[in-house]
Amino acid sequence: MPKIRDYGSQQLGAQGGVFSSRSDRSGEIMGQAIAGAGEAVQQFGDAIYRRQVQDETTLAQEKISEAREKYSIRIQEDLRNGTLKSEDIDRDYKEDIEKASEGITTNRVRNLYDRQAASLGASLQRTASIGQAQLAGKLAVESWENSSDADGVSLQQSPTTFNEVYRGELEFINEKVNAGDLSVLEGEKLSRESGNKLSKNAMLGWIN
């Protein structure tokens, strides 16, 4: 008997194959679309982060510049007023610089800010310490001058106390040198001036 060919099954199979191919293609397109969307989101996020870093870097530089100007002026003013203390400068600077960092949230910029703040702090501390030493030296010299003037008047009245008075002034000068208020050279200079000044006053006492 002749075999009848099943055209319907073949057609269905062919159509099924077509449907399957279309379905696979649709899934591939959808996957590509999702991947593209994810990449776009990533690029958008990167752009936002770069802008944030840029804005915070500008903010950090402004805060550092403001702190530099503020404390440079303060050190000079405190030095002129005779109130300069390096420990006060260091304490207040650290408090201000920490408050100024509140708007900085990215680790990259915060690390940069911390490094620049530490460098500026060290520089300000050195300047304040030098200024404080200069101020201490100035005060020490003024104190010696006042004391030496009084000693001179005393010697004019009692010239026999010259050795005692001179020894007292040398002890005062040595104390200031040991405390760091005067350098060794400054101490030697004051010691010579002290001897000359007291000798003249003692001589006036003997004459009178």
Cα separation, 47 vs 69, in Å, equals 33
Residue 83 has phi, psi (to 5 degrees) of -115, 10
**Which residues are CB-neighbours of 109 under 8 A, at least 6 positions away?**
53, 56, 57, 60
The tens-digit pLDDT sequence of the chain (208 residues) is 455 455 444 444 444 454 455 555 555 655 555 555 555 555 645 566 688 888 888 999 999 999 999 999 999 999 989 899 999 999 999 999 999 988 888 898 999 999 999 999 999 999 999 899 888 888 889 889 998 899 989 889 998 998 999 999 999 999 988 888 888 999 999 999 999 999 999 898 888 7
AA letter at 179: A
pLDDT of amino acid 207 = 85
pLDDT of amino acid 193 = 93
What value does the CA radius of gyration of the chain take, rounded to a whole number of Å? 42
Distances (CA, A) of 3 to 6, 8, 202: 9, 15, 151
pLDDT of amino acid 65 = 93
Cα separation, 86 vs 129, in Å, equals 5
State the sign of the Cα–Cα–Cα–Cα dihedral 124, 126, 131, 132.
positive
pLDDT of amino acid 44 = 47
pLDDT of amino acid 55 = 87
Residue 177 has phi, psi (to 5 degrees) of -70, -45
